[in-house]
A and B are shown apart, each in its own frame.
Chain A
Amino acid sequence: MTHQLSNRISNRKQWAEQIAFWTFRILSFFVVSILIVILGFLIFNGIKAISWDFLTKMPEDGMTKGGIFPAIVGTLCLVLGSILFAFPIGVLSAVYIHEYTKDGWLKKILQQMTNNLAGIPSIVFGLFGMALFVNKLNFGDSILAGSLTLGLMVLPVIIRTTEEALKAVNDTFRHASIALGASKWETTSRVVLPIAFPNIITGMILSIGRVSGETAPILFTVAAYFLPQLPHSIFDQVMALPYHLYVIITSGTNIEESRPIAYGTALVLIVIVLIINLMANALRKFFGKKVKMT
């Protein structure tokens, strides 16, 4: 009797185990399949538009023909500009929050504010960027204004991921360094940051993904509707891939005819983000090796 009972329980347990396992498995496959479907859809529709000319020429005929070269360059400029601005500030803020402030109200406020910053809708950043950088500081619609706006938007991402990266560094390394007479800054810069760096790069990768895809923050700060030339300085306007996509889908001169270009543009955008991510991953591996953690 008792034997039967324990058998039944173990059967039930196994059933529950199986159901849980398959639920998780199906759900995770589902997530991956969404990515594959999106990629497949874009490749299927966009590949016809892709050609050397498409990548290297200016748009022509009311953006129904020609290429998207200036938008590619514009997006790359914005990614570079915003990262140059946000990466150092974000990393150093995180260093201050994690390494220098003691647990207490100051740390709590800083962390909470960072979270709040992350919650601000991107269109609000766009509006703020326009008011501050474009008008008040008189940068005009420019790469500078757009990069700063995008940079502000991704600051919380960089700060939070850097904080996590610093948290993952074991305290024994800090203690060893301090016990040798190193100051806090020496400990942070020579021991903690090199160990944390590969994980900090993750924050950069996430930010690049967001920066290259956002439309709202650049709408009023930098993006040009149609500008068939390359920028000469950081005070020039540029076209950008996400905004270009929006334009040719909604307000081009001939929406039907420019459809293939829209898919092509989307494909290029995705591929650029993928390439930058791969490069950042290589960087991550490189620095991971450099700290000799084997």
Chain B
Amino acid sequence: MNPKIETKVINLHYGSFHALKGISMTIYANTVTALIGPSGCGKSTYLRLFNRMNDLIDNIQISGQVLVDGEDIYARNVRVDDLRKKVGMVFQKPNPFPKTIYENVAYGLRVNGISDKKFIEERVVTSLQQAALWEEVKDKLKKSAFELSGGQQQRLCIARALAVKPSIVLMDEPASALDPISTAKIEELIYDLKNEYTIVIVTHNMQQAGRVSDHTAFFYMGSLIEFDTTKKIFTNPQNEQTQNYITGRFG
């Protein structure tokens, strides 16, 4: 397995709050890695390191190294927009733009300077297919994205992220606002996507982590408590805190 993302002794402060405490971890290519832990444990903050979304927050300090494909993404010569093309993101609540379904998927291409109509059309179709949404929307591409159900909107957001051909997709509790059937669809999708993408998913839902991920990392109070294959974390965790969390004794 090739390492895709490596973090080395990451420390992150919001003002005086120490949100991530010396985290070192490796995420492997073409796997699904789940980040679990109780609210406020730092798992979302950790996820947002990889596409530098934390940069948007004032008063934040980061030390340590984040390597994506061996390159330090916090180095001075890195162009953040290029990084974000490579590292896509799906958010907690479906957040399609108030544009048509087609334009939602095409958006990432357009802002990256692509104007070839044919190319854009092809990418839109393949992305919607990859996101398992094509059959449901192929006749209403010119309709507003807001006419879709919540689950469809979230798959549209996945298609939107895939359209710019990232190699990593970050998902921040992508199913937490969805009903069980939509959730199942998203999970199936995640499973299919790992052939082509490296996926990092934050989830509150332990069963979900168990179902979709190859590796699981357990965070608690800003520290990485345990990282291993999902199987091992769920059947034979080495740390007592992990054991307690997995079995639902706290969290």
Q: Contact size class for A?
A: 20 to 34
Q: Please tell me which stretch of A112-120, A181-189, A212-220, A251-259 contacts chain B, meaning at least 4 of its Cβ atoms lie within 8 angstroms of it.
A: A181-189
Chain B neighbourhood of A61, CB < 8 A: none
Known contacts A177-B97, A181-B81, A191-B97; decide if A294 and B147 are in contact (CB<8 Å).
yes
Asked if A182 and B53 sit within 8 Å, CB to CB, the answer is no
A292 within 8 A of B: yes
Q: How far is the CA of A194 from the CA of B58 in the complex (A)?
A: 26
Are A183 and B98 in contact, CB atoms less than 8 angstroms apart?
no
**CB interface residues, B 67-122, toward A, < 8 Å:** 81-85, 88-89, 91, 93, 95-100, 107-108, 110-112
Q: List residues of chain B with CB within 8 A of the CB of A8.
A: none
Which of the residues A102, A170, A175, A177 comes within 8 Å of B111, measured between beta carbons?
A177
B108–A180 touching, CB < 8 Å? yes
CB neighbours (8 Å) of A181 from chain B are 81-85, 108, 111-112, 164
B56 surroundings in chain A (CB, below 8 A)? 175, 178
Smallest Cβ distance from B134 to chain A, in angstroms? 20
> Once the chains bind, are B98 and A180 in contact (CB under 8 Å)?
no
| Contact across chains for B93 and A172 when beta carbons are under 8 A apart | yes
The smallest C-beta distance from B210 to any residue of chain A, in angstroms, reads 27
CB distance from A102 to the nearest CB of B (A): 6
Contact call A103/B58, Cβ cutoff below 8 A:
yes
Is A137 among interface residues, defined by CB-CB distance under 8 A? no
In the assembly, what is the distance between CA of A104 and CA of B100, in Å? 37
Chain B CB count within 10 A is highest, among A172, A179, A191, A293, for A179
In this assembly, does B131 line the interface, its C-beta being within 8 Å of a C-beta of chain A?
Answer: no
Contact B112 A293 (CB under 8 A): no
- Could you list 15 examples of A-B contacts with CB < 8 Å? A170-B95, A172-B95, A175-B91, A175-B95, A176-B157, A178-B53, A178-B56, A178-B84, A179-B53, A180-B108, A180-B160, A180-B161, A181-B108, A292-B146, A294-B147
Residues of B that sit less than 8 Å from A by CB: 51, 53, 56, 58, 81-85, 88-89, 91, 93, 95-100, 107-108, 110-112, 143-147, 157, 160-161, 164
